[in-house]
Amino acid sequence: MTKQTSSTSKKSKKQSFDFDAIIIGTGPGGEGTSMELSKRNKKVAIVERYKDVGGGCTHWGTIPSKALRQSVRRLIEYNSNPLFRQHEKAKHLTFPDILQHAAAVIRKQVQLRSGFYDRNRVEHIVGEASFVDKNTLQILKSDGSVEQITAAQIVIATGSRPYRPDDINFKHSRVYDSDTILSLTHDPRSIIIYGAGVIGSEYASIFRGLGVKVDLINTRDRLLSFLDDEMSDSLSYHLWNNGVVIRHGEQIKRVEETEEAVVVHLESGKKMRADCMLFANGRTGNTADLKVENAGLKADGRGQLRVNDHYQTDVENIYAVGDVIGYPSLASAAYDQGRLAADAMIDQQSTAKLIADIPTGIYTIPEISSVGKTEQELTEAKIPYEVGRAQFKHLARAQIANSLVGSLKILFHRETKEILGIHCFGENAAEIIHIGQAIMQQKGGGNTIEYFVNTTFNYPTMAEAFRVAALNGLNRLF
């Protein structure tokens, strides 16, 4: 009798909410969560502060920067191709020119993703969300009106934004962050990029490809130190070879702005001048306006929320996914985190987890992609490994495409021949890596380097690099 009353009480309580779940944010994490929940017949709403869905990934981050890179890569290819160079002058494009292509891609992405929500009957609420309590959100609309909505469960998928130190004037017309750089309307001859992480390195490639003089200030002693050392060194060399000036181990002291330029003073005493500056040193979780304290939550100093293995926060009915929880801060991982969070929201006993080896794609020019362990990690762990390498310049497909820069490296166990890590540098690296990733994930001894020797690849292809690298590595064994 007691159990029946309790069950009835819970049921009526659940029915008193407006939705089964509300997701704040429509980036990859929010999309993954809402799609999975809606397909499980849950009544779902998404709250987005902007009129178009897609989040920072679609509007300011992943999609725009990769679209810009694509345009620049094709420009470089055109200007360096002897077929065109014989008859025509080198073409020059400005940053506003290539933004037009990015804007077209963004429109297509918004249209596509809006269709996902419509088809799955997910209610789209436009406004600024903040917590009233753990089940209630207040939505501030653009017209100033306010409404409250409730849900049994809430997911925070608000992403991140560029970190902005107080002593730099981001309102100045020549000072940008990785969001506002997309509003650049003039054609700079020089730019200073502060922060040589993924975003800074990608934009250094983009601007240098447009013929802009680039100073890249790195606060660390090497570029992208989480990469395998050879990949990091390859990127450093090619940026340097293309004319990017990289300054390692530097910190900003102050920034001086004028109507015509920006002067950056470094702690080391150096100073440099450029037409504009891009500050790309760190990101902060988007929790400042959410009033998470009203729900019993507290963000850390970087605006990020703590979650358990099921993406559940310290408050049992509130989950968080994507950049707002920190590592790995990848759009691909955020979507999967959303799906896994939805599983856990429905089934508290769910054991589904992200794969251990998440691939990374860095869209510099040339591109970099990695999956698995680096040489440094294997050496430190005292795992006996060997290396197989293939250089793109030896592949027929690369010669045909005049895409000779790059290489593929496979790390494998000397005794079991199990693939431990794959690292690729060069055009389409982020596509090529998935072939190796698929083999790494095989069970029952199917994840050895010998697969690449025993299978037959299309010829000519870039995928053939796996066969070349495998033979190279196996020849090192004795």
Write out the binding residues for FAD.
48-57
Q: Cα(474)–Cα(451) distance, rounded to whole angstroms? A: 12
- DSSP letter, residue 312: B
Q: How far is Cα of residue 373 from the mean position of the Cα atoms in its chain?
A: 19
The angle formed by the CA atoms of residues 69, 75 and 81, to the nearest 5 degrees, is: 130
- C-alpha–C-alpha distance, residues 210 and 206, integer Å: 7
CB 279 within 8 A of CB 195: yes
CA 306-312-317 angle, to 5 degrees, is: 125
Are 196 and 216 a contacting pair, CB within 8 Å? yes
User: Residue 309 corresponds to which tokens in the numbers above?
Assistant: 């293995």
CA distance 40 to 57: 25
β pairing state of 190-194 and 213-217: parallel
Q: What is the separation, in whole angstroms, between the first and last Cα of the chain?
A: 74
What is the side-by-side strand order in the sheet with 262-266?
252-257, 262-266, 271-274
Query: Cβ neighbours of residue 326 under 8 Å, at least 6 residues apart?
Result: 285, 302, 304
| Cα 110 to chain centroid, rounded | 18
Q: Which residues contact 179 (CB under 8 A, 6 or more apart)?
A: 56, 60, 61, 161, 162
CA distances from 252 to 266, 279, 313, 359 (A): 5, 10, 36, 32
- What is the rounded distance in angstroms from the CA atom of residue 453 to the CA atom of residue 466? 8
Of 448, 367, 433, nearest to 70 (Cα)?
367
Q: Which whole-number Å values give the CA distances from 275 to 100, 182, 190, 193, 455, in the listed order? A: 22, 16, 5, 11, 53
What one-character-per-residue DSSP string does 155-190 give?
A: EE---EEE---TTS-TTSTTEEETTGGGG--S--SE
Residues contributing to the annotated binding site: 48-57
